[in-house]
């Protein structure tokens, strides 16, 4: 059954204006579009119910015959319909299914299985003579072939009988439930490198050698044999190690051993920039800052806000996924950092979002964009829309942020996402920023189900972006499910229904449960118990798939029943998927058979440190005298037209700054409140006038010349903004998120050592 909903008048729906304008520019004429929202069902639904559920009869109509044949849209030239590919999360379909269930209509398909629910968006274009290539170009920002399918039908082909798919292909998997085995101890070095490349493990040769040595050891062989495992390594074990040892999870560059040299100074070795510069500086300051409650020990930093509350803050990047799918990558980034706040300590309420988005200038001509890369304007539009939807639909204000444009971001944008949260200083008499997981507690997964999307999300962050980048790393987040889950978790926290919590990071359950198991000493995971979006996933896929809107809890057996009851009452799925142990190992079973058994010590502390050379060679700086122009009007106009200087009000206004009713200073200033301000100020508590400033700083144009100056300028910019907004000079809390290219020199990356030297200098500058 196909349900099409269209607005009665074209001017009521502006979604067709962007492709129409792009098409008109391409063909040099005029173009217009009508848009329809499509719901495709694998079961029957009474027409009255369809109209009530999927339309607003005041401004919309649902035609009884196919919309392309309806008189109100006659004269169209091209039909375009965009739908999600099989396996990609269709958030509108999830909402449609729930709405049908609430209405009381049965949504069962054949043999009582859940009936098919799909959604699509249909465009009917009027543009006489427009060729197919021009139509496809007009829709390129709205259609990502990685995750979506698009159907293009001309009016002539429609007249000859061409029709739209009904339904679109659904997921049909039959992955092997038996783990694939690899004789790792017998592989040569070249075999290890080939295996890492083939399976997208992103593990270096020294790292693969460490894994080979572990599985070849008599101790590991005996422990695994006792669980019925063969000498060969299972794909479950291999993939879990790769996720845990990824750059995303272990920050291998920051923890590397660096042989550093620069002109005029003796060579020296730095063991972990993180420990010697970033953490050491914070530790030195902590004695004079009693408001710092938790730093570098959880998903986010925590500081004291007042005598009864704490604030936690986290920022991270989502660059590579956003380069592949701007919308999905960005929305996944913002809801992902939201989950970090939910999983800090015993859980915090989400206060605000912020972002800094970096792209190549959107006005770069299309012919100057290298093949295989998305146009900067498309990246900007998609990423911005993802951040907007991730925050606005979850009821979280975007308090401050920024846009940066530099040609160096052509190859990959930088998408910085940040979130702040509020928690009581105590939860049931204990410090809110502390948690402990004990053996005997149950491992409970809550929120979104597991699918193929999100696989290799962690290892993907360690790889260079190229045409072989995995589409499975791209996800589409559902902020509605996450909002419902976050409300449930705060209720469960206050009721004492769980003892530990963390988010399902880029390694899925292998990340969350294995991290929590460091406290208990081990964990046993039943992969057969995990809720799936669709059947047919292999055990290793179930373990490492991130997927969105998902958290893991440690629950005492005596509170399980109350937790599951509360989850059901709030429409949140919660499932027991294992138990925390003290065995010293991570064990995973599937169908009652052990498919993974790896020691905790090796998993978390067996990663060999990277060793990197870094040589600082100051770049030449050309000096040029300022020419006397006489009339500076043209130069001034060119400066004002620069995308870094030009107004971004049309982008910023799309964020919701008012939701929650806490925003005191919006990201605008001036008499007309239409100029960008230095940041934002929020009032986290309704009964207190204590405020919180949110600012940022970034200096990309200095980064290639002097990393020290770049780091100091960025920090100084954020600090001065804090003061300008009325912040207390003594109560500034800073967080940073470095994002650097590959520092390892190779034929394709000849400047790796210089990049590493830049990183060293930037970290040292921050320490000073």
CA-CA-CA-CA torsion sign (563, 567, 572, 577): positive
What is residue 32's three-state secondary structure? Answer: strand
Catalytic option among 248, 456, 657, 696: 248
Which two three-digit tokens encode residue 312? 């936690």
Q: How many helices (H) and strands (E) does the chain have?
A: 26, 31
CA separation for the pair 379, 140 (Å, rounded): 11
CA separation for the pair 87, 91 (Å, rounded): 12
2-7/60-61 β-pairing: antiparallel
| DSSP 8-class letter at 450 | B
Which two three-digit tokens encode residue 402? 């920024």
Query: 722 an active-site residue?
Result: no
Rounded to 5, what percent of the chain is helix, strand, coil? 40, 20, 40
Q: Terminus-to-terminus CA distance in the chain, angstroms?
A: 66
Which two three-digit tokens encode residue 290? 């009693």
Strand partners, 677: none
What is residue 541's three-state secondary structure? Answer: helix
CA separation for the pair 351, 574 (Å, rounded): 25
Distance of CA 574 to the CA centre of its chain: 22
CA separation for the pair 757, 617 (Å, rounded): 9
CA separation for the pair 636, 649 (Å, rounded): 20
CA separation for the pair 87, 71 (Å, rounded): 36
CA-CA-CA-CA torsion sign (376, 380, 382, 387): positive
Rg (CA), the chain: 27
Catalytic option among 309, 318, 657, 722: 318
Report the interhelical angle of 235-244 vs 205-216 (nearest 10°).
130
CA separation for the pair 404, 432 (Å, rounded): 37
| DSSP 8-class letter at 41 | E
Hey, what long-range contacts does 454-457 have (CB within 8 A, 24 or more apart)? 454/506, 454/508, 454/545, 454/546, 454/547, 454/548, 455/541, 455/544, 455/545, 455/546, 456/200, 456/544, 457/248, 457/321, 457/506, 457/507, 457/546
Query: 384 an active-site residue?
Result: no
550-555/442-447 β-pairing: antiparallel
Which two three-digit tokens encode residue 589? 């079973």
Q: Give the catalytic positions in this structure.
A: 248, 318
């Amino acid at each position: 059954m196909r349900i099409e909903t269209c607005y009665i008048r074209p001017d009521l729906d502006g979604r067709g204006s962007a492709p129409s304008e792009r098409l008109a520019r391409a063909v040099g004429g005029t173009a217009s579009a009508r848009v329809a929202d499509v719901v495709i069902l694998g079961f029957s639904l009474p027409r009255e119910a369809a109209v009530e559920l999927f339309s607003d009869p005041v401004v919309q109509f649902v035609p009884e015959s196919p919309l392309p044949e309806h008189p109100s849209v006659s004269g169209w030239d091209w039909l375009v319909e965009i739908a999600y590919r099989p396996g990609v999360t269709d958030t509108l379909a999830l909402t449609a299914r729930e709405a049908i269930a609430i209405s009381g209509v049965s949504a069962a398909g054949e043999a009582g299985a859940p009936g098919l629910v799909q959604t699509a968006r249909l465009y009917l274009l009027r543009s006489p003579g427009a060729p197919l290539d021009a139509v496809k170009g007009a829709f390129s920002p709205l259609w990502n072939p990685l995750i979506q399918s698009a159907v293009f039908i001309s009016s002539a082909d429609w007249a000859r009988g061409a029709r739209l798919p009904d339904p679109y292909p659904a997921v049909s998997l039959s992955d092997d439930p038996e783990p694939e085995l690899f004789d790792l101890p017998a592989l040569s070095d070249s075999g290890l490198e080939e295996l890492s490349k083939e399976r997208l493990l992103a593990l270096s040769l020294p790292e693969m050698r460490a894994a080979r040595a572990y599985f070849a050891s008599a101790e590991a062989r005996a422990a695994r044999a006792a669980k019925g495992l063969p000498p060969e390594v299972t794909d479950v074990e291999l993939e879990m190690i790769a996720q845990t040892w990824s750059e995303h999870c272990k920050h291998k560059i920051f923890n590397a051993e660096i042989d550093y040299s620069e002109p005029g100074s003796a060579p020296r070795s730095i063991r972990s920039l993180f420990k010697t510069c970033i953490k050491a500086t914070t530790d030195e300051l902590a004695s004079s800052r009693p408001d710092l409650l938790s730093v570098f020990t959880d998903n986010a930093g925590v500081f004291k806000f007042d005598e009864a509350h704490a604030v936690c803050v986290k920022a991270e990047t989502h660059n590579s996924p956003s380069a592949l799918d701007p919308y999905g990558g960005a929305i996944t980034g913002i809801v992902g950092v939201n989950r970090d706040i939910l999983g800090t300590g015993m859980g915090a309420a989400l206060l605000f979002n912020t972002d800094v988005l970096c792209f190549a200038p959107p006005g770069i001509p299309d012919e100057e964009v290298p093949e295989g890369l998305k146009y900067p304007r498309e990246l900007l539009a998609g990423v911005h829309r993802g951040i907007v939807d991730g925050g606005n639909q979850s009821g979280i204000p975007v308090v401050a942020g920024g846009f940066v444009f530099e040609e160096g971001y052509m190859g990959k944008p930088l998408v910085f996402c940040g979130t702040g949260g509020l928690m009581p200083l105590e939860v049931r008499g204990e410090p809110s920023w502390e948690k402990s997981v004990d053996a005997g507690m149950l491992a409970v997964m809550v929120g979104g189900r597991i699918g193929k999307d999100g696989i290799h999300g962690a290892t993907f962050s360690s790889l260079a972006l190229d045409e072989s980048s995995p589409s499975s790393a791209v996800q589409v987040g559902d902020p509605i499910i996450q909002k419902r889950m976050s409300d449930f978790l705060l209720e469960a926290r206050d009721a004492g229904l769980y003892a530990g919590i963390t988010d399902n990071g880029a390694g899925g359950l292998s990340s969350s449960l294995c991290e929590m198991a460091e406290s208990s000493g081990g964990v046993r995971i039943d992969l057969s118990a995990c809720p799936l979006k669709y059947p047919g996933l292999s055990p290793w896929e179930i373990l490492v798939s991130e997927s969105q809107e998902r958290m893991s809890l440690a629950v005492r057996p005596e509170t399980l029943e109350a937790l599951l009851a509360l989850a059901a009452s709030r429409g949140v799925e919660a499932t027991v998927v294992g138990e925390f142990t003290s065995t010293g190992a991570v064990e995973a079973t599937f169908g009652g058979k052990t498919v993974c058994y790896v020691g905790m010590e090796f998993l978390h502390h067996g990663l060999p440190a990277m060793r990197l050379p870094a040589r600082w060679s100051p770049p030449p700086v050309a000096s040029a005298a300022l020419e006397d122009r006489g009339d500076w009007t043209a130069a001034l106009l060119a400066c004002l037209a620069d995308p870094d200087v030009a107004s971004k009000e049309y982008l910023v206004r799309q964020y919701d700054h008012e939701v929650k009713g806490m925003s005191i200073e919006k990201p605008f200033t001036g008499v007309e409140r239409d100029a960008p301000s230095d940041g934002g100020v929020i009032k986290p508590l309704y009964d207190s006038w204590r405020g919180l400033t949110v600012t940022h700083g970034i200096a990309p144009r200095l980064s290639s010349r002097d990393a020290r100056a770049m780091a100091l300028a960025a920090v100084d910019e954020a600090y001065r903004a804090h003061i300008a907004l009325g912040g207390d000079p003594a109560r500034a809390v800073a967080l940073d998120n470095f994002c650097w290219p590959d520092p390892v020199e190779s034929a394709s990356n000849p400047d790796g050592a210089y990049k590493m030297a830049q990183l060293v200098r930037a970290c040292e500058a921050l320490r000073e």
